[in-house]
Chain A
């Protein structure tokens, strides 16, 4: 009973932390990008202010939209928050044989929640009946076809060694196993970094800063929303980004607290923040170095990640 309570408290706490830090991460990425591009850029807390602004505004809706369109943003946010519950951020107790914690961190379930969120966004965009929404939705789904199998393969390549797809178990695995960061892990990490770019909708896959029709994948789907609905979707986007960062860290660089003592928790938090910062820098640098790929060239780019993930699994098994 104790164990179950700890699981739930830690899960809820970590999820709250992620939601709160999400916009900050986006702000940091924007700031780094601005600096790299020799601009001043907005402050790191700007996303918070944008969110507050959106939630205060009224909603304007297309005539052709159905009631689904109104509730879709809330559903999307709900799905993303459910995903946030599943990823260990600071605390990942070591599994001790028979007495394991409740499996609250299944990686495949996490991917499933994120995929559901994506589907709902796309459906709502189609529902509105606008051209941009349809185009954005179809493009986003094409990217998803390539990205999701690769993600699953990455999970498998790590799960083969850990023996389970539970993220908590993977992250909390004894140090000895993590020390053997080998060839297969490198390939999986390479694939994962490309997938991180794709999933967070950053250059060279998608341009998050613009609303021009030719460069929109994700933004196209959001175009028809306004007010609190848009606020929910933007918050969901920030949360998804930080959830994915925590995901990458759990798979490859887990330094999580094993127990509930304050020092370990503080160290775990520090490790997480450092990791998030490193990934933010990575994303910002990549965004500043490259131009957005033409949509027709995207499959080529993404299949490199698919190939790497595939090889990672193959090399583990061979």
Chain B
């Protein structure tokens, strides 16, 4: 009983903290509240995870449910929130000092960030598909305000594109939801009781009319896929993720687009039940490989550091979709593992990017040089992050990409894997080239400031640590969670 109410308590922590923050003016107190809130979230997630792994799905109030899939996502959101809040301590100090964000607007920034985290938590906790949609739209609204927070024209342009494209995108998703709802009501003989709840729908998935589920899934894939950044609906992503404040970028790229994938995964399960794994798998494969292919040339010819990372997110979301599309226990497991790996790694590199951009006062990668000399920790993490993103051992992304390839070959998707490998190799070359130039070499005159905030180093260390650990082995608890998540997705 108590454990179920944890599902309620979890999102209310950031909500109340956010409201409280609106009354606080001091930057340090705000940051302290931030860290406290995210730490509490992490602790609660830990408790929920333990309960779900041992006791099965937790449910609350006919609206929330936490199964293994939820746990994976909750863990990611919690980890990234903690890291972001630690990083923000030092980052915000620098921003306020340099005038990037006015001091009196700080409460709003922190409150919005808490609201953003809260909406993401509710999204992955939602059992009711309508609630899922509502909170997904809420994440768009809160994060759009954050993207355009600095009020410069580029930021506002990015925020506008973001909110318009994703809103129209997820209204496609709403339509798909309505269609699935109709199919469920029809299968229940016109009764609508529970027809919005995922657990109910999944249990009768085999009785749903396959035609309408197919159409519904297409709408959902295009809709939530826009939010996730799948090509060709990805146009807003590089703009939004590059113009946002750095901690927000990290959360956007690391956590939010994964939440959109959460929606897709839920409907994927329904589609597998109703039409068999071939249909939705094929579509996911198609969009996935398209994303990888479309992102590659933009990565290679990019000059703006954060835009590069944005396109990278498009590519990696494509890889996750590829894993899901290949399907089977191994492919799905790989996709879930990649969700965590990419989230962690991308956040790390965004932190480094934020640091570098703040130091060198430019987004242009050609102008950023000699980072290792100027800021040794950041430079090291840059190289680590770059190697990881490119898929090198001993980092985590290598493992998940390898598993995807293995699953693909095992199930005969040779063409897709071949294309994937070519793209990955191209990206590896480009990324290492860029990172190497940025890390090594002589910094240009005038020499940028030295001295790195401890909080920044701490946040990056935590993430890098996770990255390394997952690159060497998958801890058994996590392994169990991922396997269970894969099973739930495939409908066993």
Please say whether the chains A and B touch (CB closer than 8 A). no
Report which A residues bind B (CB closer than 8 A). Answer: none
Report which B residues bind A (CB closer than 8 A). Answer: none
